[in-house]
Amino acid sequence: MKEKLLGEQGFEKYYAEIFGARWEKLKAALLQESEGVPFNADTKTYFLDSASILAALTLPLDGAKKILDMCAAPGGKTLVLARRMEHDAELFSNELSFERKCRLERVVSEHLFPDVKERVKITCGDGALLCKKQDALYDAILLDAPCSSERHVLSSPTHLRQWSPARVRSLAVRQWSLLSSAFRILKSGGFLLYSTCAISNEENSNIAKRLLEKFEGKVRAVKSDEIKIIQESNAKKFPELFSAIEFPSFEENEFGFSVLPDAQKNSGPIYFFLAEKL
């Protein structure tokens, strides 16, 4: 009978099998408190992990008039997108939870100038169902999907006791439902950025791979050399926002890219994958 991986011991074994000798160093970094960097949006500073800002910089917005942040709360990435979008663009920031949607509204209200804030439309609903209600409307979509958030699990004895691989598999199902919905409501020629703060392939590269296989011929994965050009170009467009931020480097996975805290001065973890709809 196959050994059940449950609780703290199961968590330890599961991730040690993924990362091998690197796991102890990575776990030590995950146990350290993450310190955000100041992002000076408009009226107030918002503290955000530099790896999260880097991910939000990866989504191309040139010419994008309708932008979707599908799972937007608490709102840090929405602020980055809102400040980057063109003056005639609209950002639709969606959140499933009403409580988290209220927090998102406060963040947007407190941090953005009125002329930017009025072009951020906040909604409350299930992103996985948007494809049943909308056509291909959006020029650019950010999906920062709900995930295992291993850094949080490690810091919470309760969550660590409750951990199981079934939780990872359940989240992967949810992530795929969101990603496939996002792809369907993306316009041809548009870009979709999928990101998580998880560290397992099951929630990251495997989800990206499934998108490429499901929509073969209709999607392309943006490669690392183009990713770097996009990030650097977008940062240079807004020196007042990004010039003071020391961005981490990313490492390439089979599908997508990761920033892991053991290698990047405690930035991350973040995984991101950029796809273009053909």
Residue 110: partners with Cβ closer than 8 Å, 6 or more residues away: 43, 44
d(CA 25, CA 16): 11
Reading the block at residue 40, the tokens are 């000076």
CB-based contact 218:278 (threshold 8 Å)? yes
CB-based contact 116:42 (threshold 8 Å)? yes
Q: Give the closest residue to 140 by CA, choosing from 75, 208, 91.
A: 91
Distance of CA 228 to the CA centre of its chain: 17
Reading the block at residue 120, the tokens are 């951020």
For residue 133, the tally of other CB atoms under 10 A from its CB is: 10
| Residue of 71, 131, 147, 197 with catalytic role | 197
Phi, psi of 89 (to 5 degrees): -95, 160
Would you call 71 a catalytic residue per the annotation? no
Active site residues: 197
